[in-house]
Structure 1
Amino acid sequence: MTVSRRLVNLTLDTLEDLPGRCRGCVFWELDPVAADRAARAGDAELSKEAWASQTLLEWGSCGKLIYVDEAPAGYVLFAPPAYVPRSVAFPTSPVSPDAVLLMAAYVVPDFAGGGLGRMLVQGVARDLTRRGIKAIEAFGRERPAAVADRTAEHGAESPGERRCVVPADFFRSVGFKTVRPHARFPRLRMDLRTALSWKSDVEAALDKLLGSMRPEALLHPALPH
C-alpha cells in the first residue's frame, strides 16, 4: 500500500490542523508577559491566529505542515525575528540580520522516525532560497543530561522551553551549525548561500515526495478538520 505524504504552506485554514497543544500555544508569537496573559485569559488560539494572519499578510509564508495519508503529521513555523517577540529573550540572541528564525518544529509521535522532520526543514530551505533569504537560524535546547549540573547556575527549564524549543541535536542532524554556543540554548545556523548540497537534497526529497503520492491525493487535497 502506497503511503502519501503532502507538504503544504501554513494558512489560516491549515492552522486548524496543528496539534492541539501547539494550536493554543503562543510561546514564540508573543513576549513572555503577553503570552502569560493570553493563556490566563483563554485567548491563546485567537492570538496565534492573529499572529499568523499578520505575518502572512505582511511577510508571506511562515509555516509548513506535512500530511501522511491525509492525517496531519507535523509542522514547522518560521519568520523574521521582528515577528518573533520571544526571540530576544534567549541568552544567545539576537538572530543575525540576514537570517529568518525557525521557531517551532514538531512531528506527531505516531509518525516519528520517518524522516518527516528533515523533509519539513528541507521544504523551508527551498522556500526561503527562492525568496532570496540567505540563512536560517534557530535556538536549540541542549539535552537535559548535558545541562543537569548547570541547573543551579541557570535555573530550571520552564514548561514552555521544554515543549517549544527544539532539541539542538535535531538541528545539527539536518545541517545546522552552532554559531553561538551556550550550555542550554545555543543558536544554530544553516547558511543557504554556501549549503549548495541542500538545493539538490531538497529537490530530490520533494521529487521523491511527489512521486510517492497517489493521484487522488493530488486531485483531492485534505479538507480542514
Structure 2
Amino acid sequence: MQRVVFLVPLLVAGSIWTLQTDPVKGKSPIMALENFHFEQFTGRWYEVAVVSTCPHYMQRKKRNPVMVALELKHVPSRHNFTMTTSAFTNGTCRETWTVLSFTNTPGQFFHHVARFGADVDSFVVDTNYDEYALMMQLSNEKPTGNKTTIVKLYSRTMSVSPPALEKFKELIRHHGMSEDAAIMNQHKGECLPGEPTKEAAAHHQVFGHESSKQIIPAEEEQSDVRPGRENL
C-alpha cells in the first residue's frame, strides 16, 4: 500500500506574459480562455486524453495509460490552489499533491520545479466548466534549455463527448502535433490511495505477497520524471 505526496515548491509569478510562444512551432501563441472563472473550474476532473512533445513522457504513458482523477481546491484568501491527483501506478493507487500559483492572467497558472530548475506554465485554453476542459502545459528547464509542450483533455466524468474529443484533436493539430500520437487513458477501477487494482489484489491472494504501507519522498519518486512529464 503506497501513498505518495508531492509538495511542489511554489514561486509567485509576479509578471507572466498573457501570450506565450509554443515551442513546437515557435510562432503559435497560447492564450488562456477569455472571461475565465476559476471557482467554476474547481472540483473533480478526469484526465481522459493526453499528448506531449516529450518522448519520455509518452513512453511512460503508453506503458501505463490509466485514467487520472484530479481534485482542485482553493482557499479564497490565498493566491494559490492545490491539485490532488490519484491514479494507479504499478498496480497501486497513488495520490500526489501539487501547489500552483495564480498569475495576472485568469486561466493561466504557474509552478516551479526546483529539482530541475524548471518553470511550468499551465493554461486553460477552453472549457464549458461542467463537461470538458482543454489544457496546455509548457515546461522550460533553465539549466538545459529543454522545452516541452503537453496538451490534455479533462472531463467531469470518465467519458468524453465526440465534440469535446474533436476540439482536443483540433488543438493538437493547431500546435503542430500529431493527433495519432494522442493517448486515450483507460479506466482501471476506482482509485483509493493505498489500495491495489483488482488484478494486483488477485495476485496478492494467489501468491501471498505481504502488503506494506510506504511513503516515498517526492525527490526519490521523481528521480526519473522531469517537469514536462508530470501531471497537471
TM-score, normalisation: structure 1: 0.31
Higher relative contact order structure (alpha carbons within 8 Å, sequence separation ≥ 6): 2
Give the structure with the higher percent helix.
1
